[in-house]
Chain A
């Protein structure tokens, strides 16, 4: 079973009548209205639509979809709530360093984003700490400085033990249906539950917990084990490939540069600072109303907003209850990504803690200055660490390097951003069986895109966002152009 077939939602008689009212006036509310009259009014409404497609959300998924739709000859409008495109990617400057506050890393095992990198001739550069000279891991009172090949082997054996089921459960990680029964059988498990089924050494435990929490960007007990297995399968089930695929290569010119190139290539109209308040389906067309703005209509809408945001948009008719529930409860609280510039050149460091004693986290060298080192890191509990407080961040980092001095730190509070409401995350335990298929299901002329939805292999990554946007653009194109 691949992604389930699109089930078209038949328009109710009331919806058709609503469309007829808009087009032809109240007299069409007559009980004697014929089906033919309703069909005709619907046709007029669709014909008069301002655009063929309105894309709601200007992240990588929405912008890629808009490009593809426009290139297919469909007039496309992008409505983006923020004053910039890029969604949950955001590159900027911090103390002379070019940093990425959201999605960052790319790799050639991520096919969709790599195709775009090649297409637009983008350069990549390395993140030094992804291949560390020194690795420090902490598990409770135990502190390990990893220097030997034997220690690395021990870590890799721990990872392989933890992810031992990934190849079988996600034999085809881009197709959840291929081994759906295996997914269902494990869907209730959290990533913490898996730890109970295996036996790890303290070094392995430190590494596995920190890696899993950084990868899901949430506390280990809140995220889905089976969803985590997918990410490992995408890394070809290999502890040698995973660090490169997840944290080594970034775009030299920044993620903003790539999304701008995609948007410029698409030549779609983009309206920034235009949050959408209401989406109303009227007899084959869709009316989209921005906050404080004039409604625009289209033959179809492609939704490319983070799932957590869906609940804040009013839909007529309402979105399925399960989608709204997924928006409210389907995704765990997200952690926080932070940058800390520390005194001195520390070299290529990688620091991990399972958080038994002091704050959990995974940090590695992002860049080196003349006499400073910029560390990037993830802490799984955003509300427990003030990532703008040098003293607090220094406290976390000193568990790895007791003399470290934080000169400055920064982060972007995605969990407080009303148009994101968090970073990427895996699903909650149970989310695959309860929400996964429903979140991807279109409703009438509303189609579901975004990096967190559907079988896009690298769901939760820039790659997954691009893949989903491109796929849904094709599906809409096929529907509207045939």
Chain B
């Protein structure tokens, strides 16, 4: 996975070019356009980013930053995920995405993970923008 470029990002909801910033925990440049690509290639087969509409087998990731795990409406989570109490932060999502079944044993999320730190940083950046 190539590193994030600094091309301007046309926000999906139609407004302005967002200025790239930096993912605080990793020092990776925050480029939501790159993150949208990572999301489309790695997450969208299961998840959704539409508010209130879950994906085929995964919950909506809209507004996930700051949310307590396993709280997306109308989605049934594993006990392991439900037992997590700390809210999703950028750092925790990055940690989780490295290897979901290893990070939260018992999760129903059958995904082997994103090994590339730049790809994780990009998708976290994208999810942050969705939350705002």
Contacts and interface: CB of A to CB of B under 8 A. Distances in A.
Interface of A: 82-84, 90, 92-95, 99, 101, 272-273, 291-292, 386-391, 408-414, 416-420
Contacts of A101: 45
A229 B54 CA distance: 43
A388 B45 contact: no
B57 interface: yes
Contacts of B113: 388
B57 A83 contact: yes
22 contacts: A84-B56, A90-B56, A92-B46, A92-B56, A95-B41, A99-B45, A272-B76, A291-B79, A386-B112, A388-B111, A388-B115, A408-B40, A409-B41, A410-B42, A412-B45, A412-B46, A416-B110, A416-B112, A417-B110, A418-B78, A418-B108, A419-B108
A95 B37 CA distance: 10
A83 B75 contact: yes
B42 A388 contact: yes
Contacts of A409: 41
B8 interface: no
Interface of B: 1, 40-42, 44-46, 54, 56-57, 75-76, 78-79, 101, 106, 108, 110-116
Contacts of A414: 110
A93 B45 contact: yes
Nearest to B75: A83
Contacts of A416: 101, 110-112
A93 B44 contact: yes
A418 B115 contact: no
A413 B79 contact: no
Contact of B45 (A291, A390, A410): A410
Contact of B79 (A82, A292, A411): A292
Given A95-B40, A416-B101, 9 more contacts: A83-B76, A84-B57, A95-B41, A387-B112, A388-B42, A390-B1, A412-B46, A413-B111, A416-B111
B112 A92 contact: no
Nearest to A339: B45
B76 A408 contact: no
B76 A273 contact: yes
Contacts of B110: 412-414, 416-417, 420
Given A414-B110, A418-B106, A391 B1 contact: yes
Nearest to B37: A408
A28 to B, nearest CB: 36
B108 A417 contact: yes
Residue of A82, A83, A408, A420 with most partner-chain B CB within 10 A: A83
B62 to A, nearest CB: 17
Contacts of A413: 101, 110-112
B45 A94 contact: yes
A413 B102 CA distance: 13
B103 to A, nearest CB: 12
Residue of B40, B57, B101, B106 with most partner-chain A CB within 10 A: B57
A176 to B, nearest CB: 32
Given A92-B56, A418-B108, A389 B115 contact: yes
Nearest to B44: A93
Residue of A93, A99, A413, A416 with most partner-chain B CB within 10 A: A416
Top 10 A-B pairs ranked by shortest CB distance? A273-B76, A417-B110, A408-B41, A413-B110, A92-B45, A416-B101, A416-B110, A413-B112, A92-B56, A94-B45
A39 to B, nearest CB: 40
B101 to A, nearest CB: 5
B83 to A, nearest CB: 12
A180 B56 CA distance: 43
Contacts of A387: 112
A413 B46 CA distance: 12
Nearest to A96: B40
A386 B56 contact: no
Contacts of A388: 42, 111-115
A419 B76 CA distance: 14
A56 to B, nearest CB: 16
Contacts of B108: 82, 417-419
Contacts of A272: 76
A292 B78 CA distance: 11
A359 to B, nearest CB: 15
A99 B111 CA distance: 17
Nearest to B58: A83
A383 B54 CA distance: 29
A142 B1 CA distance: 30
Residue of A292, A388, A412 with most partner-chain B CB within 10 A: A388
A272 B74 CA distance: 11
Nearest to B46: A92
Nearest to A408: B41
B69 to A, nearest CB: 16
Nearest to A414: B110
Contacts of A84: 56-57
A389 B108 CA distance: 21
Contacts of B78: 418
Contacts of B111: 388, 413, 416
A221 B81 CA distance: 37
Nearest to B112: A413
Nearest to B42: A388
A70 B115 CA distance: 47
A386 B119 CA distance: 14
Nearest to A82: B57
